[in-house]
Chain A
Amino acid sequence: MLEIKCPYCGKRSQNEFAYGGDATIKRPKLNTEVSDEEWDTFVYYRKNPRGDHLELWQHISGCRQWFKAKRNTATHEIIETYELSSNKEEHS
């Protein structure tokens, strides 16, 4: 069982959370020319690392807030979680 620390509510069981995927993918900027390649990369292509992974989670059965987690995909260890607004994006 994963124990995930919601930045707002504290540590809760994984059952209360929904996964949102890789948090490092960036949507191409609005109102700029976007090439097909940029768009396809944004929609489909993933780094998919073995090791630290920055990802989105939602405390769906709790406060319903989205937040970021740094989690190791090989060990499942959750290294830290923080609010979406924080700009800690070490790996991108």
Chain B
Amino acid sequence: MKKYSVFSLINNAFSYHQNWDVAWRDPEPKKEYEVIIIGGGGHGLATAYYLAKNFNIRNVAILEKGWIGGGNVGRNTTILRSNYMHNANNLFYEKGMQMWRDLSQELNYNVMYSPRGILNLAHSDAQMNTYSRRGNSMRLNGIDAKLLNREDVKKMIPFADFSSNCRFPIFGGLFQSSGGTARHDAVAWGYARGADDHGIDIIQNCEVTGFDVSNGKIKGVQTSRGNIKAKKIGLCVAGSTSLLAEKLNMTLPIEAHVLQACVSEPIKPLLDQVVTFGAGHFYCSQSDKGEMVMGGDLDGYNSYAQRGNLPTIQHVLTEGVALFPNLSRLKMLRTWGGIMDMSMDTSPIIDKTHIDGLYLNCGWCYGGFKATPVSGLTFAHTIAKDEVHELNAPFRLDRFNTGHLIDEKGIGTKTWIS
């Protein structure tokens, strides 16, 4: 792989940027691999990258039914944070935050990591109490958290509604200064280029349609481009997990739901942080292009359609306008949706399965983008060593039978409420 640098940039300027190397090859699938990763989203690409980099396993293929980055990794609102309550989530996501810090150097690809801080607003005394509890839990795990009062918040976002007749007055907020955003496409492309550089085959337009299992051991997959054998197979298909699990006669504690997001027309720099509204579900950040990137609730019914309905967008933006009245003047550029693999306790699953050589990575709900590096790291470990990494040890599938749930939201099994 030719490194990207200021010198390669200048060099290529002489040939009008016509002679850059392709970032990854477009190989024909081989008959057999040591490991097959199904799904060329962020998690699949990162897993393959760390299999090669950390475990020297290079005879690997990533099978993607569409194009890499066409799934949720290219559809999310790019928020990075580790502001959880439970230790398992705190430690896992904080390892991820550490990896984001030097991911651009690691991949020699600018993922535009921007630690601009994330501010969760509180609108009542009770909410301030919950946030101080959560902040303490974070600090005990070495994560930066700061409880802000109303005046602190006013300095950060003076254009929010601080008027006296506001329906949900801002009492303060919980701030994680290391939280922020990264460019989602660049994360997929950076990992793809890195994986390809290690000799991994990225095979697009290759849909997995079935599995070959014999005597409780995985042997290979059937795909739209023929049968391919493998010793080990890792599932990283996010919203499509139940569909592939069904082909293995597995039922999972997962429901598919559509989550929408939208962006406004671009405006001059207004919002420096990622801000979430605490009296409902609305979150917002401003992209480098100047668009306000906004999201909120799931549409709220099982869905495999990568599009939602207008009432949810309207509901989310109503909350947005309640928080930032000046948003009401903006035109929306576009809305889109992605399919969330909602697990029954809103925490992920990274584990082995009862089928020898088959590994499962799913249950990311609407928060899996920030986990991309650490999910890849721990899933690669789980596949290579056939045992879980200490960071994903709490995220095993059998927790739904042993009772060791990591119920961050406390909403029970009505995943669509979250």
Contacts and interface: CB of A to CB of B under 8 A. Distances in A.
Interface in B386-402: 400-401
A76 interface: yes
A49 B240 CA distance: 10
Nearest to A40: B401
Given A40-B401, A44-B344, A76-B303, A21 B414 contact: yes
B159 to A, nearest CB: 29
Interface residues of B, number: 24
A11 to B, nearest CB: 15
B47 interface: no
Contacts of B309: 1-2, 14, 76
B251 interface: yes
A21 B416 CA distance: 8
Dominant secondary structure at the B interface: mixed
Contacts of A71: 301
Dominant secondary structure at the A interface: mixed
B13 interface: no
A37 B301 CA distance: 26
Interface string B277-316: 0000000000000000000000011111100011100000
A74 B304 contact: yes
Given A19-B300, A37-B401, A73 B311 contact: no
B401 A1 contact: no
Contacts of A50: 243, 256, 304
B64 interface: no
A43 interface: yes
Contact of B252 (A1, A48, A49, A73): A48
A1 B256 contact: no
Interface in B218-266: 242-243, 246, 251-256
A47 interface: yes
Nearest to A47: B251
A55 B301 contact: yes
Interface string A51-81: 0010100000000000000010111100000
B400 A22 contact: no
Interface of A: 1-2, 13-15, 19, 21-22, 36-37, 40-41, 43-50, 53, 55, 71, 73-76
23 contacts: A1-B309, A1-B311, A14-B309, A14-B311, A15-B311, A37-B401, A43-B344, A44-B253, A44-B400, A44-B413, A46-B242, A46-B252, A46-B254, A47-B246, A47-B251, A48-B252, A48-B256, A50-B256, A73-B303, A74-B305, A75-B305, A76-B303, A76-B309
